[in-house]
Amino acid sequence: MAKGHKLSPEGKFLLKWGAQGAGDGQFTSPQGLAADKSGNVYVADPGRPHNYIHKFDAQGRFVAKWEKSKDPVRRQMHCPMDIASDAAGSLWVADEWDYAVLKYTPEGECLSRWSCWTGEYCTDARGMTVDAQGNVYVSSARNYIQKFDPEGKLVAQWGSGGDKDGQFDRPTGIAADGGGNLYVVDAFNNRIQKFDAGGKFVTKWGRKGTGDGEFDVATTASDIAVDAEGNVYVVDKNNHRVQKFDANGKFLLKWGTRGAEDGQFEWPHGVAASPEGVVYVSDTKNQRIQMFTAEGKFLGKWGSRGSGEGQMELRRDRGDPEDYACLSVDREGFVYLADVNNDRIQKFGPKGEFICAWGRLGGGPGEFCKPNKAAADAAGTVYVLDTENERVQKFRPVKAAK
């Protein structure tokens, strides 16, 4: 119920107020609540579209409300989830979506804002890869790339928002070649950027469009992979196809059209290349994995919607193109799928035979919340980008009991 209730210190009901709606004194999804020393009550309502803070007097009468605005500071209040009042009467708002704390006067004037992000967490992570030395790279929608050593220590970070060389606008997929070079899908800029292992810009290619070497990946998440020969495969998600390039961005070929037949795609997302040159693509809305040669010839497919062995739940019912379903292949040819909406990782043989699965919804060790990608290093260790828990988890291979 979208109402506020007032109780005595002994729990006796005193009064209630509020109703469902977006008007003064109405709520969409009330969450946090605080009272100041004068008895005024403040309610954080993160429900769309307004994201209000409501102020009431001690009798529940509406006083004021404020929301994100065009002001360069106040507009950062994207999703107010909790609120508290200090002894001086200032209000402190926890903004879930922006990982920030904002300080307000009782009249709604924003005094300050700071991020809760420390620089060592995978905030808004969108892609992950592991290089030949076991270093882990994570791309963030906050327009940077982070590099971690195999034990999780932050080694380097680069990038900023923009469209210049080395800048990003919501990077998503990331892949490493055998020489340590990195390829990043710079989604809203509709291009691929290449960097050396230290983050130095090397080259770029692509623009928005439907032609060869052009992409339509803005507003979506798209993956990228590099094969043993150094060829680069990009999932061109909104064009429902895969494009292949050489290491310098020269267009080589493409395949795929929109549909559910063999070799067709409906919002493809993940791509991975095996040591033998087999290319795997996660065909998200069709709830399946498809296999191709390096030239795009269809080889096979597996999967269906569900939560059983070998089944997958790659998209929510609302069909959000931001859903993720990344793939990776280890050096022995095993395929790892981030079964995002089943909150687990599945492992398959080279031809799609189910091997095992692990994980469940949660925040503890070995649990996941919308895992984005699983990638294996040369030793068979598996790293999982546990997206909504904002972390990477590391798993060691388990030998079967004799």
In this prediction, residue 380 carries a pLDDT of 85
In the predicted model, what is the mean pLDDT of residues 78-85? Answer: 58
CB-based contacts of 208: which residues, under 8 Å, 6+ apart? 190, 214, 215, 216, 218
CB-based contacts of 310: which residues, under 8 Å, 6+ apart? 302, 303, 304, 346, 348, 352, 354
In the predicted model, what is the mean pLDDT of residues 165-178? Answer: 93
Q: Is 163 or 33 the better-scoring residue by pLDDT?
A: 163
What b/e readout covers 302-332, taking b as 16+ CB neighbours within 10 angstroms?
A: bbeeeeeebbbbbbeeeeebebbbbbbbbee
In this prediction, residue 244 carries a pLDDT of 98
Q: Given a cut of 50, is residue 26 above it in pLDDT?
A: yes
Q: What percent of the chain has pLDDT over 70?
A: 75
Q: How far is CA 152 from the centre of its chain?
A: 19
Cα separation, 110 vs 77, whole angstroms: 10
In this prediction, residue 132 carries a pLDDT of 86
CB 101 within 8 A of CB 32: no
The average confidence (pLDDT) of the chain is 81
The pLDDT confidence band at residue 239, using thresholds 50, 70 and 90, is very high
348 residue type, one letter: F
In the predicted model, what is the mean pLDDT of residues 79-97? Answer: 61
In this prediction, residue 401 carries a pLDDT of 47
The pLDDT confidence band at residue 61, using thresholds 50, 70 and 90, is confident
In this prediction, residue 71 carries a pLDDT of 43
Cα separation, 15 vs 29, whole angstroms: 20
Ordered alpha helix ranges (H), 48-134: none
Cα separation, 153 vs 133, whole angstroms: 14
In this prediction, residue 32 carries a pLDDT of 60
CB-based contacts of 32: which residues, under 8 Å, 6+ apart? 43, 44, 80, 81, 82, 83, 84, 93, 94
In the predicted model, what is the mean pLDDT of residues 335-340? Answer: 91
Q: Is 236 or 80 the better-scoring residue by pLDDT?
A: 236
Q: Given a cut of 80, is residue 91 above it in pLDDT?
A: no
**Residue position matching structure tokens 């040669």:** 293
CB 337 within 8 A of CB 312: yes
The pLDDT confidence band at residue 138, using thresholds 50, 70 and 90, is confident
With 0-12 / 13-18 / 19 or more C-beta atoms within 10 angstroms meaning exposed / middle / buried, residue 117 is middle
**Residue position matching structure tokens 């006083």:** 63
- Which of 9-13, 27-31, 182-186, 323-327 comes out lowest in average pLDDT? 9-13
Query: Cα dihedral sign for 243, 246, 295, 136?
Result: negative
Cα separation, 248 vs 193, whole angstroms: 10
The pLDDT confidence band at residue 177, using thresholds 50, 70 and 90, is very high
- Which of 52-56, 147-151, 241-245, 396-400 comes out lowest in average pLDDT? 396-400
Q: What are the strands of the beta sheet with 251-255, ordered from one edge?
A: 224-226, 232-236, 241-245, 251-255
Q: Given a cut of 70, is residue 195 above it in pLDDT?
A: yes
**Residue position matching structure tokens 């060592």:** 120
Token representation of residue 256: 């795929």
In this prediction, residue 7 carries a pLDDT of 53
Token representation of residue 252: 């080589």
In this prediction, residue 55 carries a pLDDT of 83
In this prediction, residue 292 carries a pLDDT of 97
In this prediction, residue 60 carries a pLDDT of 81
Q: Given a cut of 80, is residue 367 above it in pLDDT?
A: yes
CB 284 within 8 A of CB 266: yes
Cα separation, 258 vs 386, whole angstroms: 30
366 φ, ψ (degrees, to nearest 5): 80, 0
In this prediction, residue 21 carries a pLDDT of 74
Cα separation, 48 vs 28, whole angstroms: 7
Q: How far apart are the first and last CA of the chain?
A: 57
Q: Given a cut of 80, is residue 31 above it in pLDDT?
A: no
- Which of 55-64, 294-303, 366-375 comes out lowest in average pLDDT? 55-64
Tally the residues of the chain.
Answer: 402
Cα–Cα–Cα angle for 388, 120, 344, nearest 5°?
Answer: 30
367 residue type, one letter: E
Token representation of residue 13: 């009901």
Cα–Cα–Cα angle for 333, 239, 284, nearest 5°?
Answer: 50
In this prediction, residue 69 carries a pLDDT of 47
The pLDDT confidence band at residue 249, using thresholds 50, 70 and 90, is very high
In this prediction, residue 211 carries a pLDDT of 96
Q: How distant, in Å, are the alpha carbons of 146, 173, 201, 375, 381 from that of 336?
A: 22, 16, 30, 7, 12
Cα separation, 325 vs 247, whole angstroms: 24
The pLDDT confidence band at residue 341, using thresholds 50, 70 and 90, is confident
